Amino acid sequence: MSQKPGVSLLHGCWIALGLLGTPAWLLTADPVTTYNAVLLASYLELQGSGALPARDLRAFLMWSELVRGAARFPGWALLLRAAAGLTAGRLPGGGDPRWALLAAALLTFSLAAFPRFYLAIASLVPGAEVIRAVTLVYAGTHLTLRILARLVAARSS
């Protein structure tokens, strides 16, 4: 099984930058920003020229979807384990991701559940107004709750 030369070169650059003390978030942010710039460039150009109509129809999270027994309710077990992960001590030998995960959960929940908050963010972030099924952003809340819940298991192992 052979690797493509570009893949091993990129991996080598990643390791070299990590050894030089480059922060991990910067290593991730630059490729993501570049990818988004390339992906959204033509859309932003068309939108800036006024050629695209405004998208006014959006689907937001309904509060009735979050009650116990509803389809999007995460479950008491996950909520309790996530709370335990949030209150657990720091993991040895690393940073503390708990507060960043809590912020991510609150952000994704707020974007999905509060239309005014989403519209305020969409006015600041280029391309965010394209999202029509804002309800799906709520999946990020589930993901961060699961990661917080796994911190309990990481502490015990």
pLDDT at 127: 75
Number of domains in the chain: 2
Tens of pLDDT, residue by residue over 89-139, are 776 666 778 888 889 999 999 989 998 999 898 888 877 777 778 888 888
Flag whether pLDDT at 84 surpasses 70.
yes
The residue among 9, 24, 53 that closes a domain is 53
Question: Is residue 85 domain-shared with residue 145, that is, in the same domain?
Answer: yes
Distance (Å) of CA 105 to CA 15, 25, 29: 30, 18, 19
The residue among 32, 53, 74 that closes a domain is 53
CA dihedral 114, 100, 68, 133 (to 10 degrees): 40
Which two tokens mark 14? 């990643």
Flag whether pLDDT at 74 surpasses 80.
yes
15 vs 94, more confident: 94
Question: Is residue 46 domain-shared with residue 60, that is, in the same domain?
Answer: no
Question: Is residue 11 domain-shared with residue 47, that is, in the same domain?
Answer: yes
Question: Is residue 114 domain-shared with residue 66, that is, in the same domain?
Answer: yes
Question: Is residue 133 domain-shared with residue 147, that is, in the same domain?
Answer: yes
User: d(Cα 152, Cα 148) in Å, to the nearest integer?
Assistant: 8
Tens of pLDDT, residue by residue over 27-37, are 555 566 676 66
Q: What is the mean pLDDT of the chain?
A: 76
pLDDT at 6: 42
Question: Is residue 49 domain-shared with residue 60, that is, in the same domain?
Answer: no
pLDDT at 2: 47
Question: Is residue 66 domain-shared with residue 84, that is, in the same domain?
Answer: yes
Question: Is residue 112 domain-shared with residue 155, that is, in the same domain?
Answer: yes
Residue-range definition of the domain harbouring residue 148: 56-157
Percentage above 70 pLDDT, the chain: 69
Question: Is residue 95 domain-shared with residue 83, that is, in the same domain?
Answer: yes
Question: Is residue 147 domain-shared with residue 78, that is, in the same domain?
Answer: yes
Question: Is residue 87 domain-shared with residue 150, that is, in the same domain?
Answer: yes
Burial class (CB in 10 A: 0-12, 13-18, 19+), 134: buried
Question: Is residue 70 domain-shared with residue 137, that is, in the same domain?
Answer: yes
